[in-house]
Amino acid sequence: MGIKKCPQPDRWWYPLSMFRIDHDLDASLEVSDPTSPQEVLAAENVSLRLLLTQAKLSAETLLEQAGIDAREREAADKLQKLILEELHHRIKNTLATVGAIASQSLRNASSMPDAQHAIEGRLLALGRAHDLLLLARWTGADLRKIVHGATEPFDNPDKPRFSIAGPDVQVASGAVIAIAMTLNELCTNTTKFGALSVPAGHVAISWAVDAPASRLHFTWKEQDGPVVTAPTRQSFGTRLIETLGRQLKGTVRLTYEPSGFVYFLDIPLLSLES
């Protein structure tokens, strides 16, 4: 094969990139060399396969040398796709939550500074809830840690203003956000109008598991604060608290006792697990 008058060097040891088809010489090649371009390419493919065989550089050998198994790589690709889809889903949910917080806070605020303060507080609460989930790798968090994380910014380490009591309860990631946002609203309200608005005020937080009924009873009770009266209109914070309770398929009860405001949440344990 090749041009007889000008013998070619052994093609086995030259890369294909060194060979160039000059279309201007097509006519002369057709006259001087009976070999077609397709036959030349086929011969080159055969030479390349022989070269790879001689050097023992098959595709499987390359993967083995790189420490990659084809099946493992396929599994890793599927896992990456699943993670990206889950990340996309969580980002969309977070953006929807942020949008709702901003629009409702602006709609119900009496002034722009109040709206700014409300939005900042709610976004910080959302961020703290995400921090908890990140520490737990988004599998969930312990209820006690959720309560501590939500109340810590409002507490006084020298003179604690929250008492927290209850058994260990694991909360799935979907319910962590709802509980954390609820606690943030309760903390904000008590700081402005409730027990924590006065130096002697105190908040008792407790929960208990009703095993036979498979339900959780959660109580927030304010003590030693100013005299409480029921509000004349329902604020966004109150609506948010009630909506989050319904999101967990639970029952919310708000009691404005003169001795202190009481929030009670009764939810199925199944809502904390899913």
pLDDT digits (tens, 9 = 90+) for 117-146: 777 777 777 777 667 666 655 567 899 989
Phi-psi region of 67 (alpha: psi -120 to 50; beta: other; left: phi over 0): left
CB–CB of 196/186 below 8 Å? no
Judgement on whether residues 26 and 104 belong to the same structural domain of the protein: no
Distance of CA 261 to the CA centre of its chain: 34
161 lies in a domain? yes
Judgement on whether residues 188 and 262 belong to the same structural domain of the protein: yes
Judgement on whether residues 39 and 142 belong to the same structural domain of the protein: no
244 lies in a domain? yes
Judgement on whether residues 39 and 76 belong to the same structural domain of the protein: no
Judgement on whether residues 74 and 43 belong to the same structural domain of the protein: no
**Domain limits for position 37:** 19-57
Judgement on whether residues 176 and 231 belong to the same structural domain of the protein: yes
Judgement on whether residues 50 and 84 belong to the same structural domain of the protein: no
245 lies in a domain? yes
pLDDT at 64: 63
Pairing of strands 215-223, 141-142: unpaired
9 lies in a domain? no
pLDDT at 220: 97
Q: Amino acid identity, residue 222?
A: E
C-alpha 82/C-alpha 88 separation (Å) is 10
pLDDT at 15: 46
Judgement on whether residues 47 and 177 belong to the same structural domain of the protein: no
Judgement on whether residues 114 and 230 belong to the same structural domain of the protein: yes
- Tell me the CATH number at 126: 3.30.565.10
Count of domains observed in the chain: 2
85 lies in a domain? yes
C-alpha 19/C-alpha 5 separation (Å) is 18
Residue ranges of the chain with per-residue pLDDT less than 50: 1-34
Judgement on whether residues 212 and 157 belong to the same structural domain of the protein: yes
Judgement on whether residues 37 and 141 belong to the same structural domain of the protein: no
7 lies in a domain? no
pLDDT at 78: 73
Instruction: Indicate the pTM of the whole model.
Output: 0.59
10 lies in a domain? no
62 lies in a domain? no
pLDDT at 11: 42
